[in-house]
Amino acid sequence: MIDLSVNFGGIKAPNPFWLASAPPTNSGYQIMKAFDAGWGGAVWKTLGVPVVNVSSRYGSVNYRNTKMMGFNNIELITDRPLADNLREIEEVKKYFPDHAVIASLMVESRAEWEQIIKDVQNAGADGIELNFGCPHGMCERGMGSAVGQEPEVLKTIVGWVKEAANIPVITKLSPNISHITDPGLAAVQGGTDSISLINTIKSIVGIDLDSYAPYPIVDGKGSNGGYCGPAVKPIAMHMLKDLAQHPEIGKVPLSGIGGIETWRDVVEFILLGATSVQVCTAVMHYGFGIVREMEAGLRQFMEEKNYNTIYDFAGKALPNVTEWKHLNLKHKVVAEINPDKCIGCDLCYISCDDGAHQAIALSDDPTNRIPSIIEENCVGCNLCSLVCPVEDCITMVKKDDGTESLTWNERTLNDDIPVTFDDDRAGGKGHFVPTPQDALKHRK
């Protein structure tokens, strides 16, 4: 029997699908609508001293037919009075007592932290999330990512909050930092109950070619914003992995955020150690209803793999994520083209010849448009299989027998690595490379 319920650092919810603190959680109306659609938790749009926002507020990166592959937001925290938000938190908890309502907070002084914590606790919030990640507007005032980039300051504020709070505390981290483990460790040392990441990435998504202002344009000007959406998912997963593998940070629950849109995204974040996930951009794009596909897909995956709870597979991918120096240099794959599926577009040849290792040849027969692999040249880089528009037309076939294993680390310890510019132990020594003049053979 599959049970999707979670206990995230003391915060209980019927499932791990939570809304991130963002425009979709601006009001009780939206959150109740989301809970009714199937979301298990919501982090209220960040509360503090209300701001005045600008118009317009959003920009996006579109890629070919994909709208909002990346999304840019210059909206700040709530611009609604605190009393209105507190009243609506109470109302939501009356209707959905078993769903998680987390209050995202951002203020300046210790006195303000202590006061607003009392306020949200009295309103019935199940937990608090500390917004140390906002990379625009608020950081210019010494809050948001300005705190997330200063581990000692972060640690101090987490300590203040833990002294004042009677409900669980989540610390939300900024990705705008060299080593995510620095603020992560500071949060743990400050006493946080759990961590969420990532917040948005400082960015400019484009420049208008008439006004020369960055998007979104506000009266002929623009500013950096917070980048999110599918484009940031790889960055989020990498940072999640770093925290999950850390011996101290990995002991606290982690909530994964960044580009989550499908059930597979959810599963991947859980496999890297997350035990709740937070979603924003996908809801802004497609609406609250996407949670139905997420839940159905997650349930099917768990049924197929024989998992009863998400804790049965949380972090299961972590042992397989290692440093490059520990990868097996003896592992060998080469590309293989299925002639029955090939449509003769030659994109694999073009990408390999121009961008990789010249390991694909075209036929001299003008009636045959199917390329062939030059196996001795193929280094198994995967590029051809990635650019091929036909599913499973090009596959990577294992050629080693699996009996040998040798890593760069082992070679280093054995004093068997290249150490001079022309060392005979160079990995590419003897590999075929066309002469420079060969590039001009087809010149007309």
Q: Which residues are catalytic?
A: 134
Cα(341)–Cα(408) distance, rounded to whole angstroms? Answer: 37
Q: Counting every residue, how long is the chain?
A: 444
Burial status of residue 342 (CB atoms within 10 A of its CB: 0-12, 13-18, 19 or more): middle
As given in the structure block, the two tokens for residue 298 are 């997650």
Q: Return the axis-axis angle of helices 233-245 and 181-190, rounded to nearest 10°.
A: 50
Q: From residue 123, how far is each of 9, 120, 254 by CA, in Å?
A: 20, 5, 25
Closest to 175 measured CA to CA, from 271, 76, 274, 256? 256
Distances (CA, A) of 209 to 37, 60, 212, 214, 275: 41, 15, 5, 9, 44
Residue labelled with tokens 């906002």: 134
Question: Distance between CA atoms of 326 and 338, rounded to whole angstroms?
Answer: 33
Q: What is the DSSP string of 63-127?
A: ETTEEEEEEEE---S--S-HHHHHHHHHHHHHH-TTSEEEEEE--SSHHHHHHHHHHHHHHT-SE
What distance in Å separates the CA atoms of residue 215 and residue 196, rounded to the nearest whole number? 28
Nearest alpha carbon to residue 397 among 352, 336, 331? 336
Is residue 83 within 8 Å of 105, Cβ to Cβ?
A: no
